[in-house]
Amino acid sequence: MNEKDGRVELKLESGHTVTAGHAVIATNSPIHDLVALHTKQAPYRTYAMGFEIETGKLDDALYWDTQDPYHYVRLTSGEDGKDIVIVGGEDHKTGEADDADARFAALTSWAKTLIPDLGPERYRWSGQVMDTLDYCGFIGREAGSKRVLVSTGDSGQGITHGVVASLLIPDLILGRENEFAAVYDPDRKPIKAASTYVSENITAVKNFAEYLAPGELSSIDELKPGQGAIVRPGISKIAAYRTEKGEVIEKSAACTHLGCHLHWNSFEECWDCPCHGSHFAPDGSVLNAPAIGPLADVEASS
């Protein structure tokens, strides 16, 4: 993507070029910026469950605590006179744990203690949030750019931030005043966040050291159906996955964004990148930005 002659020029994978007055990058995690914004936000895996409850047993509100990891409760309508209580939280930095069952057990226990009328579990899932240094989204003109705007860093408040972006970005493009521009400015310098900045960026430093460590399994033969693991048959690390039919898929363990070392996520069955939150399917295809390309092929080792 280039800015020239008062236009933005985007080159597509198909080989076509699109030019426009402005470009808005709203890909959850920005795909055009290799470094700057990624050092100011960090990916967290978050868990959620849905439990039945008799309608009227819990007031419709958003509840949350201040523990670390935190928890929240929301209510939504279900079927047959029942509501669904959504209980979420138990977040951890992406790729730094692979213990979803323990996270769901902790959520269940927390919810049962606080909501005596909680009914049976109906749903469970996980997702990823991009937390900024001050938990306020980055919505606005990219630093140093006149014509490229971004919306990212939802910090678990995607619906609110989506509404903000829908109001703020048109104003910025059309040159209208908006009192929230400074609050969400992607180039703002959050006060009192320096220590958080340092600790969030240690992830990448720690991560590259993992390339020196041995693999998680001594041989691909140890992989069970449906399992993924890092193996090291030679000098390179391989992200290996065995399908339910027994076929083994071997890909490079290096994220195609900036090369961080991937971790297997056994609950979602995908490869997670702890550095900036890219996800890849077992076959290496990219599922989540900022990476845009699939994992590299490796020569099969078995």
Q: How far is the CB of 166 from ligand FES (least distance, A)?
A: 27
Nearer to ligand FES among residue 33 and residue 250 (C-beta) = 33
Residue 25 CA to residue 6 CA, distance in Å, equals: 18
* Distance in Å, CB of 255 to ligand FES, minimum: 3
Instruction: Provide the minimum distance between the beta carbon of 34 and ligand FES in the complex, in angstroms, as a whole number.
Output: 8
Nearest to ligand FES by Cβ — which residue?
255
Rounded least distance, CB 5 to ligand FES, Å: 32
Contacts (CB under 6 A) with ligand FES, residues 232-291: 255, 257-260, 273, 275-278, 290-291
**How many residues of this chain bind ligand FES (CB under 6 A)?**
12
Q: What minimum distance in Å lies between the beta carbon of 265 and ligand FES?
A: 14
By C-beta, is 8 or 291 nearer to ligand FES?
A: 291
Residues ≥6 apart with Cβ < 8 Å to 206: none
- For ligand FES, give the closer residue by CB, 90 or 272: 272
Contact 279, 255 (CB under 8 A): no
Q: Specify whether the CB–CB gap between 239 and 264 falls below 8 A.
A: yes
Taking CB under 6 A as the rule, does residue 30 contact ligand FES? no
For residue 296, the tally of other CB atoms under 10 A from its CB is 13
Hey, what are 235's tokens?
């000098």
Q: Rounded to whole angstroms, how far apart are CA atoms 79 and 189?
A: 47
Q: What is residue 157's three-state secondary structure? A: coil
Nearest-5° Cα angle at 116, 112 to 117: 110
Cα 64 from Cα 66, distance rounded (Å)? 7
- In terms of DSSP bridges, do strands 138-141 and 248-252 run parallel, antiparallel, or are they unpaired? unpaired
Length of the chain: 302
DSSP tag of 210: G
**Least spacing, CB of residue 114 vs ligand FES, in Å:** 36
Residue closer to ligand FES by CB (options 46, 168) is 46
Residue closer to ligand FES by CB (options 170, 293) is: 293
User: Which is nearer to ligand FES, 42 or 84 (by Cβ)?
Assistant: 42
Q: Under the rule (CB under 6 A), what is the footprint of ligand FES?
A: 255, 257-260, 273, 275-278, 290-291
